[in-house]
Amino acid sequence: MGAFISSFFRYTAVLGVLSIPALVIARREGKPQMARRFLIATLVIGLICGVLAAGSSQLVAQCADVGNTNCVDFGTTGLHITAVVIFGATSLTRAYLVATD
């Protein structure tokens, strides 16, 4: 449970920082629905990252319990990085498109 909570808050904070350009532009251009969607997406992606981290830590713990010494889950880290990069790119792109429209 600790892995879920810490990852949820960590990734939600990172995604919140990455969504600042889109939120500022949405507020300046008078588009509250866009801001709301980015905030909801931040929470949903943070939740997904938290669930992935909890599952990964459980799998690594089970691997170590049966006596394996090299238990590492690289797939979860890659999924986290992919989600953060795609969200950041979407935020910057959407902010640019709305600002220049």
Rounded distance between C-alpha atoms, residue 92 and residue 101, angstroms: 14
Q: What mean pLDDT is predicted for residues 3-26?
A: 95
Tell me the pLDDT tens digit for each residue of 29-66.
Answer: 999 999 999 999 999 999 999 999 999 999 888 998 88
pTM of this prediction?
0.88
Torsion (CA) 92, 32, 20, 75 in degrees, nearest 10: -70
Structure tokens at 85: 């990069």
Q: Categorize the per-residue pLDDT at 90 as very low, low, confident or very high, splitting at 50, 70 and 90.
A: very high
Mapped onto helix, strand or coil, the DSSP state of residue 57 is helix
Domain count, the chain: 1
Domain hosting 35: range is 2-100
Q: Look at residue 33 in the predicted model and tell me its pLDDT.
A: 96
Structure tokens at 44: 């949903």
**pLDDT higher than threshold 90 for residue 68:** no
Burial of 92 (0-12, 13-18, 19+ CB in 10 A): middle
Q: What mean pLDDT is predicted for residues 12-28?
A: 96
